[in-house]
Structure 1
Amino acid sequence: MKEFAYQRAAQVRDALTAVAENAGARFLGGGTNLVDLMKCGVEEPTRLVDVRQLPLDGVREAPDGGLVIGATTTNSDAAAHPEVRRRFPALTQAVLAGASGQLRNMATVGGNLLQRTRCGYFADLSQPCNKRVPGSGCSAIAGVHHHHAVLGHSEHCVATHPSDMAVALAAFDAVVRYQTLDGAGEIPLAQFYLPVGDRPDRETALPPGALITAVALPGSVGSPQSRYRKVRERASYAFATVSIAAALDIHDGVVRDVRIALGGVASHPWRASSAEAMLRDARPTADRFRTAAEVELSAAKPLRDNGYKVTLARNLIEAVLCELAGTERDR
């Protein structure tokens, strides 16, 4: 690891100024991803600006009845908050599925959204990687890629986003709030992650030098009838092979609202908009759930060794929606 300077910021503006004055500076939250990447040489900041002491933690109710989760709130505190557990159970389940207790106690909500891919080639400096070195190539396409994307990828990158929390936030129409030296702003999570395109190194729509300050959950989207389910290769903590965050609202035997987001299948949380559109105002049957999943996944472009993810995602969508609806799956 190369030498770097360390600075602890006491005010938001101090942190923003420190990063603006040094092109090699980075914000440091829990460090559970950034420090690992520094150890293997992928990240080489010249200065770390510690933001953990900024007044940006805690969960509070918003005027619209939603919740605002501060960016420096630990994953553990966010998952344990009574209102998060009551109104957004899928979010609590996603956070608890994401890492060990030790990591959740360190990792922050803002940092979780900015996790970089866990593609093995990205972390291996001896291998070409367009996300690490634009224009160098994507080793995963012809290499080991059974964990990689089946939706929304390009010839330049097939990596997946690792966050469990972001999948649940996507299902609930979360909005990311940030601060720059020019003022405050916000970005819907649906627009926060950039399409892969030909520059996979450009990952988010945050302005240069921006600091995430909070994540807002609208009051109109909370649902006690929500679930997060994660399929992984081992029972202990591992990144998702495929995951789903789903919420279902049924009234008079008809689906009034449905929310579905998938993880482990794309470079960002994948909102299953086509499946949702097909299910609204329809009867909540297993056959309908399966057909909606198939329509959503018809856009999938699996690689040589990861076509199984399409079948897995289809079955996961059907199983979780049947569970939420209290519907028996066809055998």
Structure 2
Amino acid sequence: MGSLSSTLLWLLICATIIDAQLTPNFYARTCPTLQSIVRDTMAQAVAKEPRMGASMLRLFFHDCFVNGCDASVLLEDTPSFKGEKNAYANQNSLRGFKLMDIIKKNVEAKCKSTVSCSDILALAARDGVVLLGGPKWTVSLGRKDSRTASFEAANVNLPPPTANLATLISLFAAKNLTARDMTALSGAHTIGMARCSTYRSHIYNEANNINAAFATTKMATCPSIGGDDNLAPLDTSTPNHFDNGYFRNLMAKQGLLHSDQELFNGGSQDAWVRLYARSNYALSKDFVVAMLKMGSISPLTGFSGEIRRHCRFVN
């Protein structure tokens, strides 16, 4: 009996170790159509509104930077915790929650209570990039969903649009991402939009750090008072195509956010910006490496967390 108990214990330990590792084939038997379901739903959404590709990528980033890639950003407030949606860096800017509901519903229709919201979000972020012309990478799966969220951590861990270079490097380093990773990941700003309130100070108060003609152009749709929700593309050249236009903009001092232009302002990241501005290949390669690292930030695996039936609420 002792030998049998020891064997069972060893098998349990081995299963737990295996279960705790993310792998591209995690749902190969339990939900073989998962990736096609996510891809097809994303394709429909991006065809209707290209911006959704950027929105899902940003949603994934803002999830992983707060207590890891655990879909906590999707949770609504409850009596026991205040969620992350209304944190400073998320308030009135995160999008894609309804699309996540649709993707989750489609996945549940084929694979009930099997696939986590955090894995769905990781796949949707990748597919959004690919659909807008960006690089493709293999997403490792097996994350579980958290049962709580942290408004406080979201306010501390997410880089604000006003951050200087030292702050940006520090926030990314706290997630084991290098300054090179940070600059490559910032290439995500080659797609998507920003609200006037996030870049107003940059275009009105930073004459030494922005192209004057570019600033004047942006003032037309972002008045000094009001118009907080007016939108502008983060990459004015190809806002709906994933390429290196964002970095060319930075070299021309046409970064929309203060934090964008900090990457090319006589500092340590200028060389990386120059590289990515002249080489889409270098950008794609480094972006994929950084996305893989970001996607593995503190995932819940094995017996931790849960598979939420609805992405907005714990079971």
Instruction: Judge same fold: TM > 0.5, yes or no.
Output: no
Greater strand content: 1
What TM-score, normalized to structure 2? 0.29
Structure that is richer in helix per residue: 2
